[in-house]
Structure 1
Amino acid sequence: MTAKTEIAEAAVQDRAVIDIPLSKLKKSPRNARRTPHTEAAVEALAASIAAKGLLQAPVVEPELDGDGQPTGSYLVTIGEGRRLALLLRAKRKEIRKTEPVRCVVDLSNDPHEISLDENVTRSDMHPADQFEAFRRLAEERGLGAEEIGARFGVSAHVVRQRLRLGAVCPELIQVYRDGGLTLDQLMAFAVTEDHARQRQVLEALSWNKSPHLIRRMMTEAHVPAADRRAVFVGAEAYAEAGGVVVRDLFTEDGGGWFEDAALLDRLATGKLGALAAEVREREGWKWAEASIDYPHAHGLRRVYPRPVERSAEDRARAEVLTQEYDALVSEWDAVEELPPEIEARFKEIDAALEAFSQAAQAYEPDEVARGGVFVLLGQDGVPRIERGFVRPEDEPAPEPGREPECEPDGEAGVTEGDGGEAAEQAADEDGEPDGLTPLSERLVLELTAYRTVGLRDALAQDPNTALAAVVHVLALRAFYQPYDQPSCLEIKATSAYLDGHAPGVGDSPAGRRIAERHAAWAGRLPREAGDLWAWVGGLSGSDLLDLLAHCASLSIDAVRSPMNRRPGAWAHADALAEAVKLDMTTTWTPTAASYLGRVTKARIAEAVAEAVSEDAAQRISDLKKPDMAQAAEGLLAGTGWLPPLLRTDRPEPQSPASTSEAAFSVAAE
């Protein structure tokens, strides 16, 4: 039967079903849908047709020429998406270009009206029904995410998302159907598949049902994958031990959450313990203990390694290696990619010089025999070994007729370690006050703790100012009333513990420089306290000032605590920061964790406006707070922006000689 005959027969009937070659189907100019179908939608239709066939026949009308005669082609009134999907399959050689397509020829209705009617009067499936239907495909028919995705033209990740939503507890699905939850809120609940926890969080919610709060409540008992314990143990070892890693399929979860905190602690402690045993066996210490957090020596005395006199042969060998290294650097400095043999030689020389440097200092054998080691877990998840601690019972007995002048002490107040794991939670997005509200007391404590460690580091590198600061505080103690002591230096051989205010501050760049400086000085001091006076008397003027600067810097306490208000000390900390030209950008950077996620959106916008531009602040102002904080972190990176609490004003000098220089001149005279 010819096409014209089919059309003639169809004209007799108002509606007829016939097979039409795909190549004879054309887009109708009277189709009410003007917006083109997306590539994703056409892909999905093509996948569906490939898996299940054409479930609904397109509605067409004959194409007529200028004289009103049939051309043999047909205009698709309803089903343009299906036509495009079939053409895509033909392009991929899955079907022929002349593949017969079962169509309905409609001659009784206005093509434009029925096209409009199809798109207006239909009702979309509720998303909850879709989620549950996908789950039934997986459970009842055993289809995997990849297979389901292939049958519906969507990615396997999208299928997994829908399966996770379909697995939410029935009570939540019903609340979502009834309009009590948005899709974003339902996705936040679906971060885990724990129905009991989902119900608990739903019951605990009040007026604030922000997705950010829900997600935080759902995972508050879990450990983020960025946690130092998780980084140290690793997801693979944790999973092998039976642990479950929870992953959020709807956001960038940073690797997910480790569900079993107790298991993670056991694995981390066990791994640290094995490392401690290895260090003890290899180095010969009397004891070695593993600890996730720094134990602050438990009041133990600490000893440090001493310089070792190297043989002339060793020194000559090191000199030869250094000269070879310098020559290679000069020869290959302009080359971007080194030859393999040259790169290997660089590594060999580096390793040899590093070994020589490490062997330049050593503990006394009796100290190793009495002392021990703490193996700790740094904030970055890398283990750290702290050596040379001596317990009271292991202290050498005093010589006959000589009593010890003092009990064994700690480390002269040096601040080290990791601190606790308690992290301050970010402020909730909903319900926060508008405007530039005051910073929280907790954040003020943390920021000023960072400023204190920065001041300590900077003052230690400015001996002249350190001398002036010490003279200042000594004069206060000698000539003024006890209640009028406006200085942030505490010359009492004490050092405030900063990790309690800002966990991890001891692992900051300034904190590590302080610890390294302290260890270097400890290695030079005589072992016996009775020998210290004579030793100090033999120091050069520059060494004496450097040691004074270090000791003075350890006593700085510029933390702004509401329980210990010291406005005079805080003002002096500002003046001291100006004197040492404190640059906090070398110690602290604004991130979502350190600042941006813990202040109001107005504060975030203020920071971006100051560091970048008002336009940049405006562009991110409509984002949700967690997203705004992350966006601001990227914008502020490399700008050197600091909150006012961490800034240092640097006025122009009033005279060629600064106050510290004048003080040094007087001292020298």
Structure 2
Amino acid sequence: MATAVQKITLSSSRDIPFNKLVLSQSNVRRVKAGVSIEDLAASIARRGLIQSLHVRAVLDGEGQETGMFEVPAGGRRYRALEMLVKQKRLNKTAPVPCVVGTTDSGILMEEISLAENDERVPAHPLDQYRAFQSMRDKGMAEEDIAAAFFVDVNVVKQRLRLASVSPALLDIYAEDGMELKHLMAFTVSQDHARQEQVWDTIRNSWQKEPYHIRRMLTETTVRASDKRAVFVGVDAYEAAGGIVMRDLFESDDGGWLQDIGLLDRLVSAKLTTIADEIATHGWKWVEAGVSIPYGVTHGLRAIKGVPLDITAQEQATRDALQEELDRLTAEYEDADELPDEIDQRLGEIEVAIDALDQRPVRYDPDEIAIAGVFVSIDSDGSLCIDRGYVRPEDERPVEAADGDAPEEEVDPETGEVRSPAVQRAVITIGGEPVRTEEDEEDDGLKPLPERLIIELTAHRTLALRDALATNPQVALTMLLHKLASDTFRHTAPTGCLEASVRHLYLSGQPEEMKASAAAQSENDRHDRWGDHVPADDQALWDWLEQLDDGTRLDLLAHCVSFGINALFERPNPHAASGISRHGLDVRLAQADRLAVATGLDMVAAGWKPTVGNYLGRVTKGRILEAVREGAGERAAQLIGHLKKGDMAKEAERLLADTGWLPEPLRMSDGVAGDDAQPVSQDGGDADLPAFLADDSEDDELSEPEDEEHVALVAAE
């Protein structure tokens, strides 16, 4: 026979006039916590009484109800209502929603009071964020949201900042898979894929403190406290279109600058402007850089300058400052602590006196003509200028006896001493010469800019990855070669395969790479594999064991391809992350061998010379050389008279379908392959536009039939 379940009867609810309520002495809450009574009263005035009071009838000595009710649970709400009554904002007989408990239940009022407070669960931060987000989506301003909940507006901004976190991570947090401090650390980045990648990396690691998450998310950025950022100014960086990542939850010293390439360009431009101004003072050379290597002045002769005399006005200013300094020092000599304004003034006086004592230096003009200047950025982001160094090759020869002028300074026709030529300072930024308008007009061949070589080899690295990923046997051979080298040749250089395999991110590279065929192929292939690779470690092992050999080789080739590094780097074996000259040679030689083995053709991979990726960034001599090799001598001659900008645009058209490649994208001299760069001959001239073509009807300009006497005429 089944036992009947005892049914629960809930207490009834009804409206009771406020003046019939009294606060119970059984209320357990004594310590003030949470929202203040004033804020709670304002909330009731705005939203009404959201939660009813729990009351019990007050009995007289004979156990009869007196018509009054005491409040054991809801004392703060009662006090808030009481405040509204005193403020004449609520009628003292206004009905109050109440749940009326029975007096004979046997449950003590203290138990009810404690349970009512103890069982109250604060809102989850994620629920708070979603509520704030919903209110903002409906048009409510952040300030209004903060005012409605009596919190600082920064609290609202911080909660809303959680919108920048991946929804997948929000779900993990909602299920207690991570702590709030971890979730807040992810807000420094807007890249959801990178956030999820970082979490997958550290989720089972002991090292998952918030600072570690922030460091991983900002490893390809520059802190705003970096001396380059301080030198340029974050405002100037943002004005140029740069993006700054900021952490609203923690102190971030100004945030992180995402576009390192833009920052470096701004630094270079500012250093160039400063170097140009210094060069106008007659120095032979100016070498500028973010940092000047230690010991760079070794072997150079430092010229000495004469400090300029202080003027009467400057001396009077210094005397007045010194007098004020002495007076304030004597006045506050016995003070335990200086007032803030006095301390600030003393600092200002000391700085002003120091500036007057650091006298400008005058150098001998003859010495300036053979000496140079180093310009760099100090550790605090300030400008550092070190003047007056003479290189050994610039030292003047011993003067001729009897005051005779050297032979090369005497005009052989007139016998007079030639006037000295006006010297133009040679300016270098980061070791690379700064181009001037005169340099741009120079038709001679010059070395390709280092930055351009890095970008070109980045294109090749991406194409090599794609080629290797579709050649599993080559990938297997290369991986075994790397592993065997590491096992049996412990001193072997790394080469072009990072066989960890560690994904080498090609940050700071041209935007066009993202839209290239190789990049699209790599992304599509990675997405296809990602749909099948299990996330669990044991499941991944079991899955790999079940794959057939062909599929395993395909996956191996895809994974190995992410370790390809065929980038050109400036050799710097003394830095922690530097590469030696030998190591760079090995890397590039292996890249050539890999290109031959995979049959890589950079033309087929989609690279072609444009104004943006090559022609607009080299000298006119380089442009003409490219056109000469790709489109023929005649085409080169007919654009030779154009200004550089027009020449680059026309060269882009002429080379569009020729398959011409610059040196960094060709095979090195010691490697032969099917993709070796052909050099076009004169017979391969591309069609020229009407304004460049030799279509004159003048008999004197027409081309004779005899090819040995062809006369080329350039457009005027």
- Scaled by the length of structure 2, the TM-score of the pair is 0.46
Give the structure, 1 or 2, with the largest relative contact order (CA under 8 Å, sep 6 or more).
Answer: 1
More helix by share: 1
- Scaled by the length of structure 1, the TM-score of the pair is 0.49
